[in-house]
Structure 1
């Protein structure tokens, strides 16, 4: 009689196997629908993840339900490495996102962001890939709402801006530029700030402040928030994987005991 642990491992892996199919389909759909370099960057990792989940699930199903001990051993080894990798990534995510936050500006509804506030590892990563990231940000039209608006200066200063809009779509507050429209600013005759971002600003809608450190900081603030959410989800997923791994170990032990019993019964 097939034991409970083998059945449970089989059921759990059938669920993950079924989940892998829409993941792979979503990756293929992304690759066909992508119009920008930003979107194309997403499809390959999604497809790889889906295929990996599908293969691991198949190993778990066959190993537990068909009593293939060596395949179940491979499945448990992969699961152990996955748990270890996920645990390390979760710790790493909390470490690199423990620094950095927006700075409130007096009488302004938005915050400003400084690149130096974030971890050195994140800074190095964004600086090393900024050309590609910048192209993605321009194509994503994050400043489109501001470009289309004709907002009075008082209303603009009271309004809420996302981290990317604050960092990429307007000059830093300490540049003391004169407001004309949300993405049109005039520079003072005599510069009053040493901030290098003041020299990077342009009223050209494909330039704006996309080359500014404040834009990189706005991106890192988004990354920090996303990574923290992912880290919390990873903790839940880790608990699930540990339970599955424990049940899988029981199924592996059952297989070995059954094989040993058969070996004694049928020499």
Structure 2
């Protein structure tokens, strides 16, 4: 019995340590300049890390102090968390699979089409209440302003790899035909195209293209990229949970077999 409990305690102590990087990954995502305007992004990762931590702590305490009821509860919660993690992975894939990114001739960076993203993602982020706060946050941030610090010439700017937020929110869409002055200042063409975003563009640093659909698409593109990276963490967490469950379940079963023979 002691050997089985020691195995469960050891693997959960390792899981306890592994949960810390997951939590810090969520905090790191929240601290990135491109993400601090989207408050909902890091919380699922932090929540998963905290659940992982609580589960590992439960398993460790139950095994170390031989609390069989707590171990049974740990196994049940582990199984439930595995199922929840798999469901989240499937939903995240469905929601983030469509991409609104498209290439533009003569430009190294991509531009973004709002309708290219999933309806759920569009409705969640671009809800009038959500978008109002996101837009105000973007305008107050350095996401666009820092582009001017690099003093790009036009060829250098067109050959740069700017983020989806910068591509969608800080400049007019290429189709509008605006003439480049600097990354956030453009000269209005004589015959602008009929795209609504072309009319909405404004050289005022507080407005730029924050009212454009291309800006919403840039935010969705950034969210999609970060969630795909976060999904890797979730996949690893689910695999670790499955391994923990198999080892802990076998150890728990052996404990009961040993106990029943006495």
Q: Separation in 2 of the partners of 1:160 and 1:250? A: 51
1:193 maps to 2:154:
no
Partner of residue 220, structure 1: 220
| Cα 1:86–1:127 shift into 2, 3 Å | same
| Cα 1:171–1:29 shift into 2, 3 Å | closer
Partner of residue 137, structure 2: 136
Q: Separation in 2 of the partners of 1:168 and 1:114? A: 12
* 1:187 positional shift: 2.0
Partner of residue 65, structure 1: 64
Q: Separation in 2 of the partners of 1:227 and 1:41? A: 11
Partner of residue 206, structure 2: 206
1:82 maps to 2:65:
no
Superposition RMSD on alpha carbons, in Å? 3.2
Bigger mean CA deviation after superposition, 63-72 or 155-164: 155-164
* 1:24 positional shift: 7.1
Question: Which has the larger Rg?
Answer: 1
| Cα 1:9–1:139 shift into 2, 3 Å | farther
Q: Separation in 2 of the partners of 1:200 and 1:104? A: 22
Partner of residue 103, structure 2: 104
Q: Which runs of 5+ in 2 are unaligned?
A: none
Q: Separation in 2 of the partners of 1:69 and 1:115? A: 53
Q: Which runs of 5+ in 1 are unaligned?
A: 263-267
Q: What TM-score do you get using the length of structure 2 for normalisation? A: 0.82
Q: Separation in 1 of the partners of 2:255 and 2:247? A: 13
* 1:41 positional shift: 6.4
Q: What TM-score do you get using the length of structure 1 for normalisation? A: 0.81
Q: Separation in 1 of the partners of 2:94 and 2:25? A: 31
| Cα 1:158–1:213 shift into 2, 3 Å | same
Partner of residue 147, structure 1: 148
User: Retained in 2: the 8 A contact 1:169–1:209?
Assistant: yes
Bigger mean CA deviation after superposition, 164-173 or 124-133: 124-133
**SS of residue in 2 equivalent to 1:99:** coil
Per-residue Cα deviation, 1:91-140 (whole angstroms, up to 9, x for no partner): 12222222114222122222211011111111111112222322333344
Q: Separation in 1 of the partners of 2:110 and 2:126? A: 22
* 1:175 positional shift: 1.5
| Cα 1:14–1:158 shift into 2, 3 Å | closer
**Count of aligned pairs between the two proteins:** 256
Q: Separation in 2 of the partners of 1:215 and 1:222? A: 11
